[in-house]
Amino acid sequence: MENLTQISKLKMQNHNPKLKSDLKYRCYYFSIDVIHLLETLPEKRVFWVITDQLLRSATSIGANIVEAKSASSKRDFLKFYEIALKSSNETKYWLGLLRDAAKTDKEDKINKLLKEVDEISKMLSASVLTMKNKR
């Protein structure tokens, strides 16, 4: 959660709109925030599957964006962005499930993460639509 706050403070201090729109940067720090959240959860069986899937989907978003940068074609680039979008939607599911079913005291932190991944999803979706229209 600290990273989301740091990003917001950094944006306000620098008045740099590029930071807000730098998808790779946001995805990287989003992954770190998810990892920090998962580290605070109890070692109970109910959390194992949810946290494993959440960790995989959340970190996959940024990983696919980085992979897209070295794509061999525009079509390949688009595919990586589509996978990142699917991972962001999956991440919303796992965060919602963790918040609503796993009985944790982390609801505020999870809601902040849900807001951030929703914004990331919208950015990815807009990028995918733009790329598809330019083909």
Model confidence pLDDT, tens digit, residues 37-51: 999 999 888 889 999
Q: Is 80 exceeded by the pLDDT of residue 18? A: no
Quote the pTM value.
0.82
Q: According to the model, what pLDDT value does residue 11 have? A: 45
The highest-confidence range among 37-46, 75-84, 103-112, by mean pLDDT, is 75-84
Report the topology of domain 2-133. de novo design (two linked rop proteins) (1.20.1440)
DSSP assignments along the chain, one per residue: -HHHHHHHHHHHHHT-HHHHH-HHHHHHHHHHHHHHHHHTS---HHHHHHHHHHHHHHHHHHHHHHHHHT-SSHHHHHHHHHHHHHHHHHHHHHHHHHHHHS--S-HHHHHHHHHHHHHHHHHHHHHHHHHHHT-
